[in-house]
Amino acid sequence: MKYIKNFKLFENEEISWKKFYDDEEDVFLVNEETTPDELESELESYVDGLHDYGSGDSLVRKCCDIMRDSILFVRNEEGELGDTGKEEDYADKMYDELERRFTDDYSTKRNEYGEGTTSGVLKLDGRPVFEYESHDDGYGFGGELSNVDHILSIILDLSQREL
């Protein structure tokens, strides 16, 4: 049902992106006051769920979504979301730029039964930001974030860049 609701929202170009969020409080925005610890806390809560999948791709999308939201939205003093007035095209270009700067180096080893274990390192501009290991079937062993301050600085730089 949620899929149908979101599809119908896409059909109407006048609908704000805010309507895609069930709860505005769940939207994490990055600005100059955001600390690496706050971003790490947000990403760790998300990464905990990734351990079942072991993929860096989902973390990349999460970082890109945070940046995109930070470009398009701002919180007022009451904590409500408001539009920044920036164009969605700009946010989409910055999303693509951040996504392009991530690389996911991974390899899979197979045991005698043909079951695979994938180990990977997600990098941002060549610096490791997430190391993980998982079974091929999606069952994860875990992962560890690093260099969150680097992620934050890149997100801030891109979200404030002028085209």
CA distance 42 to 49: 12
Is there a domain that residue 13 lies in?
A: no
Mean pLDDT, residues 2-20: 45
The tens digit of pLDDT for each residue in 18-46 reads: 444 555 667 899 999 999 999 999 998 77
pLDDT above 50 (res 12):
no
**Per the structure block, which two tokens stand in for 136?**
């091929």
Contact 51, 144 (CB under 8 A): no
Is 153 contained in some domain? yes
Q: Evaluate whether residue 63 is within a structural domain.
A: yes
Task: Please give the structure tokens belonging to residue 116.
Answer: 């695979």
Q: Is residue 7 part of a domain?
A: no
Q: Among the listed ranges 7-11, 47-51, 144-148, which one has the minimum average pLDDT value?
A: 7-11
Dump pLDDT digits (tens) for 91-123. 999 999 999 999 988 888 888 888 888 888 999
> What is the span of the domain harbouring residue 152?
21-160
Percent of the residues in the chain that have a pLDDT greater than 90, as a whole number: 41
pTM confidence score:
0.77
Residue 138 has pLDDT above 70, yes or no: no
Structure tokens at 122: 């997600």
Instruction: Give, in degrees to the nearest 5, the angle at Cα 29 between 26 and 34.
Output: 120
